[in-house]
Amino acid sequence: MKKSKLLIMVSSGVIVVVLAIVLVLASSSPPSSPSSPSDSSNSLSTAIKAFQPPNAAYAANSDSGGSRGDINVSGAGTINVNPDVAYISLGVNTKGTDPKAALEENNRIIAAVISAVREKDVAEKDIRTTDFNIYPDYNYGYDKYEEQVRGYTVSNNVSIVIRNIAAVGDVLGAAANAGANAYSGVQFGLLDNSAAYNEALELALKNAIGKAEAIAGALGKRLGSPSSVTETINYYSPYHAAAENLSVDAAVGSVPVQTGKLTVTANVQMVYEFAK
């Protein structure tokens, strides 16, 4: 009889504890309201946004009119101009079994070349030594294992700036007559290409604007103001003319030279926003 009463008391205690836990949980949680279709839709939308990549979110905003979007275009402008300066690289090579004798001969000839060039109204500041070498010439015999020096070569090269384009042929002829026997060609350029480049830059901007307007028109949209304009640095393309067949063995007058045209190019990148 005592055991039965004890069991009943323990069971009652367990029930009381369970009821107490239930009451505590009920009091700590906010009251719930009946769910509606709009609540379910909001929950689904929130979940989708949580897993959407940034691009998808941007697309959703664009569709709703929250963003105007943008368009990226490039433009190029090119003009052709006449050069106003020429750069000539020439020199004297001499050979001999005695390096001292080869050097003395080279010194004599290069001095004569520089003097002849100066007589064609080339300023001293526009003549610059760019390279000087003395090196041995070897005989490489297949039947011997040692190198044999057969002589020496002396090389002296100068760079000449000619600011009078019409005098290029005369300078080349004078240098050849004085003994120059090494030529690296002629390069034509511009002393100041800023004016030509700015003109090409204007053409590049017009080209980019035209592209943007064409794209916007095809899409049925209007352009807003450009949000970004980036200049891509470019340089004019120099023109090279070969200076060949100049010999010290025959008198040379004015060498025929064609200056041609220089190409100056500019490039831009532009970003436009579509107008609302």
Kindly indicate the confidence band of residue 240, based on its pLDDT and cuts at 50, 70 and 90: low
Q: Tell whether 112 is covered by a domain.
A: yes
Region 79-105 average pLDDT: 94
Q: Tell whether 111 is covered by a domain.
A: yes
Number of domains in the chain: 1
Region 184-209 average pLDDT: 92
**Could you read off the pLDDT of 120-159 as tens digits, one per residue?**
999 999 999 999 999 998 876 655 556 688 899 999 999 9
List, in order, residues 6 or more apart from 197 with CB less than 8 Å away: 234, 236, 264, 266
**Helix 168-178 / helix 99-118 crossing angle, nearest 10 deg:** 150
CATH number at residue 174: 3.30.70.2970
Q: Tell whether 160 is covered by a domain.
A: yes
Task: Please report the pLDDT score of residue 98 as a whole number.
Answer: 94
Q: Tell whether 263 is covered by a domain.
A: no
Q: Which range, 3-17, 42-56, 241-255, 256-270, has the best average confidence (pLDDT)? A: 256-270
In the structure encoding, which two tokens stand for residue 41, read together? 């839709």
The C-alpha atoms of residue 163 and residue 126 are separated, in whole angstroms, by 9
User: 126 is in which domain, residue-wise?
Assistant: 85-138+149-190+239-244
Lowest mean pLDDT among 65-69, 104-108, 211-215: 65-69
Say if residue 11's pLDDT is above 50: no
Residue 47 · residue 232 · CB < 8 Å: no
Q: Tell whether 75 is covered by a domain.
A: no
Closest CA to 252 of 185, 177, 190, 181: 177
Q: DSSP states of 183-239 as a string?
A: EEEEEEE-S--HHHHHHHHHHHHHHHHHHHHHHHHHTT--EEEEEEEEEEP---B-E
The C-alpha atoms of residue 132 and residue 157 are separated, in whole angstroms, by 6
Say if residue 43's pLDDT is above 60: no
Selected residue with higher pLDDT from 23 and 91: 91
Q: Tell whether 47 is covered by a domain.
A: no
Task: Please report the pLDDT score of residue 149 as a whole number.
Answer: 84
- As a whole number of Å, the end-to-end CA separation of the chain is 90
Q: Tell whether 63 is covered by a domain.
A: no
Region 4-33 average pLDDT: 45
The C-alpha atoms of residue 182 and residue 1 are separated, in whole angstroms, by 131
Residue 173 · residue 252 · CB < 8 Å: yes
Kindly indicate the confidence band of residue 271, based on its pLDDT and cuts at 50, 70 and 90: very high
C-alpha separations of 71 from 61, 212, 225, 254, 274 in Å: 17, 7, 11, 56, 8
Task: Please report the pLDDT score of residue 49 as a whole number.
Answer: 38
**Exposed/middle/buried for 187, CB within 10 Å: 0-12, 13-18, 19+?**
middle
216-250 core/surface letters (b: 16 or more CB in 10 A; e: else): beeeebebeebeeeeeeebebeebebebeebebee
Q: Tell whether 202 is covered by a domain.
A: no
Query: How confident is the prediction for the chain on average, in pLDDT?
Result: 75
Say if residue 60's pLDDT is above 60: no
Task: Please report the pLDDT score of residue 117 as a whole number.
Answer: 96
**Exposed/middle/buried for 74, CB within 10 Å: 0-12, 13-18, 19+?**
middle
Query: pTM here?
Result: 0.62
